[in-house]
Amino acid sequence: MSMEFLVASAIAVLVAGGVYLSLRGRTFQVVLGLTLLSYAVNLFLFATGRLIANRPPLFVDGVTGYADPLPQALVLTAIVITFGMTALTVILSLRSFLDSGTDQVDGRAELDQEEAP
């Protein structure tokens, strides 16, 4: 199987899982979903420089082919930002759980009891 197919399907699976989880009703699952989604986005951004192996991103004597260094810089920025965001969401969900006593995204505790058999 080609590298393109592998990377593309990995991104697709991550996005599918991320979307499913972030549509769930509980904050923990939503946080996990957002994390998966951001992994997928980072992989996707990384792949925008085309998938090339064994090429230097910086100037080296005697080398003709280079990997694109810009997506790597973009991914780094994106990783830092999403990491901070995830930390914030975790703290926020925790505070909301402690304040309202429920981990439902819309903060309604009664939904829990309705769902329970």
Report the interface residues with other proteins, using CB under 8 A: 22, 27, 30, 34, 37-38, 40-41, 44-45, 47-48, 50, 70-71, 74, 77-78, 81-82, 84-85, 88-89, 92-93, 95-96, 99-100, 105-107
Q: Which of 26, 79, 73 is nearest to 48 (CA)?
A: 73
47 or 67: CB nearest other proteins:
47
Q: How many helices (H) and strands (E) does the chain have?
A: 4, 0
57 or 89: CB nearest other proteins:
89
Min separation Cβ 67 and other proteins, Å = 13
Q: Hey, how many other C-beta atoms are within 10 angstroms of the C-beta on 25? A: 14
What distances in angstroms separate CA 115 from CA 18, 40, 103, 105, one per listed residue? Answer: 23, 32, 14, 15
Min separation Cβ 39 and other proteins, Å = 10
